[in-house]
Amino acid sequence: MQVRGIRGAITVEVNEEQPILQATVELLNSIVKVNGIVPTDIASVFVTVTGDLDATFPARAIRAMGGWELVPLMCALEVPVKGSLEKCIRLMVLVNTDKTQEQVEHVYLGGAKALRPDLAKA
């Protein structure tokens, strides 16, 4: 078994608590579903947001999900590169898995599909 990183990102329209929390749950649920993982498979989740999202901690949404209470979470700010995608939440889910790197499915939703069009599903 190996530790693999699963990337994901999603954008929100406004810097408000509920849209940020809802988008975080949507993104994490999508990552979990397409990769067939459960919280006990998770080593940790690293969450970043762009500097324009300061209404809440996205990790609050994950912590409130059933079964995720013991998963280590960390939030941070993205590097503020001029011209980069705004209002974006990114996840790096570190998972214990037998999947190969090629079998891992990364998830990009909403405006975040522009970050990795090669990995984003239509």
Query: Which residues are known catalytic residues?
Result: 7, 63, 75, 78, 90, 108, 116
Q: What is the widest separation between alpha-carbon atoms in the chain? A: 40
Element (H or E) spanning 19, and its range? helix 17-35
CA 107 from centre of chain? 8
CA 7 from centre of chain? 6
